[in-house]
Each structure stands twice: as C-alpha cells, then as structure tokens.
Amino acid sequence: MSLFKRISDNIRANLNSLLDKAEDPAKLLNQYLLDMEDDIVDAESAVARQLVVVHKFKAHYEEAVELAAKRETQALEALHKDREDLARRALEDKALHKAKADDYLIQYENNRATAETLKSQLREMKDEYERLKAQRDTLVARAEAAKAQKEISSMAGGFGKDTSRRGFDRMEEKVMQMEAEAQVATETFSTGQALDKELAALGGSEAVDRELAALKEKLKTETSS
C-alpha cells in the first residue's frame, strides 16, 4: 500500500471517532481539511521529485542512444579510411553506450510507472479532499441544527419553572388580592351610603309629622273661633 493511500485511509478511519469526541465539529473538520491540504502539498512535492527522476533517466537514455548512433557513424567513417583499429574502438564504445541506453530505458520506464501511480494517488487525495470539504459544510450545518434543537428543547423543558414564570405567578396573586380588597372597599362604601339614606329618610318623616301636627292645631283654632 502506498503512502498516499495510507494517509487517505487513516483520514477516513479516524474521522468518525474524532467527531464523536469533538466539542466543536466545525473546528475539528476545518483542522482536518488543513491537515489534508498539508498532506496534498507534500504529495505534490513527492510527485514533482519523482518526475525529475523520470526526466533525468529519459535524458540519460536519449543521450546514450545518440552517442551509440554517433559511434556507429564514426566506425563506418574509420573503415572508409582504412582505420579498422579506430572503427573497432568506436564499435566497442557504441556497445557500452548501448548497454547504458538499455539500462536507462528500464529505469526510465519503471520510474515513469511509479510517477503515474503517484499522480493517480494524488488525484484521489484531491478528490477525497473536495468530497470531505463538501461534506464538512453539510456536517457543520447538521451540527448547528442539532445544537440549536438541543438548546431549545432544554429551554422548553424548563419553561414555566424558572424565575420569570414564578414572578408572573406572584404578580397574579398580588392582582387577585388587590381586586379582593377593592371589592371589600366597594361593598363597605355602598353599605354606608344605604345607612345614610335610611337615617335621612327617618329625619324627613319626623319633620312631616311635626308639620302635620301644626296644621291640625291650626285647624282646631279656626274651628273654635
């Protein structure tokens, strides 16, 4: 298993367990994304270094092929000039460069395959990063909704039992007491008024009786004369 694959697998394996322990999922998810960004930067550097190796072996291979071809041309020219000894030396050098070219070609192909694998894994890391980045927004929204629901449920559970509600209950009792006192005062006032009227009525009746007696006396006087 490659380094990049292990990094990606570890991220997925640890994410849920760490979220369960996190007090702030948004902060942890953001930190995870930052860590992944660092891993991606490191992976990009590794891919870049591998591509340098690929280009180096490719250049060595092409140079060796070119030198081998050059020595063959030089050997032919030496034969044209009856320099078989020089032609032999050129062909021996050609064989050496040909062997180097074959080795460089193998190294080039192997390292190019490795580079392609690393680039593929790097793309997977970036895809995983983008997927988790989108999932982060969803998880944060869900976490905020759950937090709000928990807070509201907690407040609703204690609603009516807190200081404010007890204060309202006390005020209601106070108002009821005030209403009762007002009712008593009203009834007392009404009773007093009724009594005054009765007494006033009694006084008025005596005055009429006196006036009636006076008229009767006057009538007797006029009859006797």
DSSP structure string for the chain: --HHHHHHHHHHHHHHHHHHH-S-HHHHHHHHHHHHHHHHHHHHHHHHHHHHHHHHHHHHHHHHHHHHHHHHHHHHHHHHTT-HHHHHHHHHHHHHHHHHHHHHHHHHHHHHHHHHHHHHHHHHHHHHHHHHHHHHHHHHHHHHHHHHHHHHHHHHHTTTSSHHHHHHHHHHHHHHHHHHHHHHHHHHHHHHHHHHHHHHHHHHHHHHHHHHHHHHHHHHHHHH-
Nearest to 40 by CA among 137, 124, 112, 136: 124
Spatial neighbors of 12 by CB under 8 A, at least 6 apart, are 128
As a whole number of angstroms, the distance between CA 8 and CA 125 comes to 7
pLDDT in tens, the chain (225 residues): 455 555 555 555 565 555 555 567 778 888 888 999 999 999 999 999 999 999 999 999 999 999 999 999 999 999 999 999 999 999 999 999 999 999 999 999 999 999 999 999 999 999 999 998 888 888 878 877 877 787 777 666 655 556 666 777 778 788 788 877 778 777 766 666 666 666 566 555 666 677 777 777 777 777 776
Segments making up each domain of the chain, as ranges: 3-159, 170-225
Q: What is the pLDDT of residue 195?
A: 60
Whether 74 and 97 have beta carbons less than 8 Å apart is answered as: no
State the pLDDT at residue 67.
96
Q: Give the pLDDT of residue 177.
A: 83
And the tokens for 99? 């062997």
pTM: 0.55
Q: Determine the pLDDT at residue 191.
A: 66
User: At 118, which amino acid appears?
Assistant: L
pLDDT at 2: 54
Closest CA to 33 of 144, 141, 128: 128
